[in-house]
Structure 1
Amino acid sequence: MQKPATVLRRLAVALAALLAVTAVSPAAHARTDPKAPEEFVALSDVDPTIIQEMRYPTQHNFVGRPIDGYRQPICILTRPAAQALHKVQGKLLRRGYSLKVYDCYRPQRAVNDFVKWAEDPKATQMKAEFYPRVDKSRLFADGYIAEKSGHSRGSTMDLTVVKLPARPTAPYRPGQRLVPCYAPQSERFPDNSIDMGTGFDCFDTLAHTLDPRVQGKQHANRLLLKNAMEAAGFVNLAEEWWHYTYQPEPFPNTYFDFPVSRASLAGRR
């Protein structure tokens, strides 16, 4: 039979070990977040003049809440993509315009969050603005939501063009009346972009870059962005006037999952 003192010592050691594990587990969990490779940069470090209105860390997006993985409202891209955007910006500035980015690198956990949301038929609070003519059950079949995104490879971004001097974008107020993303510019959410015919993230065929129903100034504005981007090596996704990928991609087959934050870029040699 073990002596009482021996039993007490062993219980004390076991309790101390348990407390130690509990105490370090949050920090240990934080350290498990992956870091961005050296090839990734903050866009503002390459070109601070490009306007950033990052939508997914906010409530003004098609889900209606901040998206998992977006810890700060910053644009992160591979360096070649950021440098190419800098070239586009220089040409647009000389014409009295500026680029504005809505989304850049997107971690896989954010894509997973989109998928989980899409599978919940009850979560439709932003339908009236972002997908008024699409049944939510069709989002996968129609290609609006997918389990993988080119954004996670780091060289894809969503963006628009703003006339200078840039007017401030009115703040989104949760619960405010929602207007369809394809409504006339004077009626839909007052984004300070030039009129592209629809708002950003509009799940509608009118958002197709060369949809023949979009004519006049709206068509010309889409071509202004398209021509400027393609001249710098970007390829447009035909179904989304705002979606561009730099080619050749540094990571064409890798889907990253580091969070969108300055901390993901820190501590690299």
Structure 2
Amino acid sequence: MKLNSLSSPINSLMKISAFLLFSLFIHPLSAQQKNTLKVINSLKVYQNSFARDPSQELIELRKMIPDLVLDIRYATANNFMKQVMYPQARAFARKPVAEQLKKVQAELRKRGYGLKIYDAYRPYAITVSFYKRAADKSFVANPAKGSKHNRGCAVDLTLIDFKTKKEIPMPTPYDSFAPEAAAAYQKLPAAVIRNRDFLIRTMRTYGFRVIKNEWWHYDFIGWQNYALMDIPFKSL
């Protein structure tokens, strides 16, 4: 009787312990895990990083690629948030990303096209704001992991006619939540599919990969080598 009376509370404790351990693994958004996310918000730490490794520097794209067209939507109210999110209409990316975009622009220029940039490096605090306010979370990065934009390794863009600067027809407008925004969506006019796929192929040649639900969003290979950043544009 004594052994039986002891086994019951011991078994209960074991079950509770197992449940707690299981919970730690199935709740990746716990406060403890979010607190361990490394985000660089010190200008000095950032400057020291590219002093040691020049590839870590965030380059202003228009300075490296003067004929690049910018349409930084988050510096206006013309975006899915319907409000100004950036205080300045500027675009930055890590040095290798900027260098490859320069090659893309040179390749496109030969064919009469050019790039229009909607967004590039995005401070981490903006990603947090997006996630809190977005109705459809599948189209915004989860702050628990951060965004490739926060690493300076993602760029949102489209094709333009180099001479007229007019956008080339694409499946949807920028930041559309429609099914047609998917990079492999097929129920579209043939000319639009050709334009989209030409852009995807060209970007892929130079180290960029489109994401499946946004034809305009490209991640740079090797993004894992760059830290999440929360340095405001005015400090760059």
Q: Answer yes or no: same fold by TM over 0.5.
A: yes
Bigger fraction of residues in helix: 2
Question: Which of 195, 201, 223 is matched with 1:249 structurally?
Answer: 223
Which deviations, in whole Å up to 9, do the C-alpha atoms of 1:9-42 show, x marking residues without a partner? xxxxxxxxxxxxxxxxxxxxxxxx7335432110
Q: How many residues align?
A: 184
1:203-214 equivalence runs, <5 A: 203-214=177-188
Name 1:216's counterpart in structure 2. Answer: 190
The answer as to 2:234 corresponding to 1:239 is no
State whether residues 148 and 223 of structure 2, in contact with CA within 8 Å, keep that contact through their aligned partners in structure 1: no
SS at 1:242 equivalent: strand
Stretch deviating more after TM superposition (37-46 or 195-204): 37-46
1:73-222 equivalence runs, <5 A: 73-118=89-134, 136=135, 139-140=136-137, 143-145=138-140, 146-147=142-143, 148-167=146-165, 192-222=166-196
Name 2:42's counterpart in structure 1. Answer: 34
State whether residues 235 and 247 of structure 1, in contact with CA within 8 Å, keep that contact through their aligned partners in structure 2: yes
State whether residues 71 and 259 of structure 1, in contact with CA within 8 Å, keep that contact through their aligned partners in structure 2: no
Q: What's the TM-score, normalizing by structure 2?
A: 0.73
Please provide the CA RMSD for this pair.
Answer: 1.8
Moved over 3 A (4+): none
Q: 1:250 to 1:76 in 2, by over 3 A?
A: farther
SS at 2:228 equivalent: coil
Any unmatched runs of 5+ in structure 2? 1-40, 51-56
Shift of 1:116: 2.5
Name 2:87's counterpart in structure 1. Answer: 71
Which deviations, in whole Å up to 9, do the C-alpha atoms of 1:52-88 show, x marking residues without a partner? 1101011100011111xx2211111000000000000
Q: What's the TM-score, normalizing by structure 1?
A: 0.65
Which deviations, in whole Å up to 9, do the C-alpha atoms of 1:115-163 show, x marking residues without a partner? 2223xxxxxxxxxxxxxxxxx3xx12xx112322210010100000001
Question: Which of 53, 64, 68 is matched with 2:71 structurally?
Answer: 53
State the one-letter code of the partner of 1:55.
R
Bigger fraction of residues in strand: 2
The answer as to 2:231 corresponding to 1:258 is yes
SS at 1:56 equivalent: helix
State the one-letter code of the partner of 1:163.
D
Which deviations, in whole Å up to 9, do the C-alpha atoms of 1:172-192 show, x marking residues without a partner? xxxxxxxxxxxxxxxxxxxx3
Q: Percent identity?
A: 32
SS at 2:149 equivalent: helix
| Cα distance between partner residues in 1 of 2:168 and 2:180 | 16
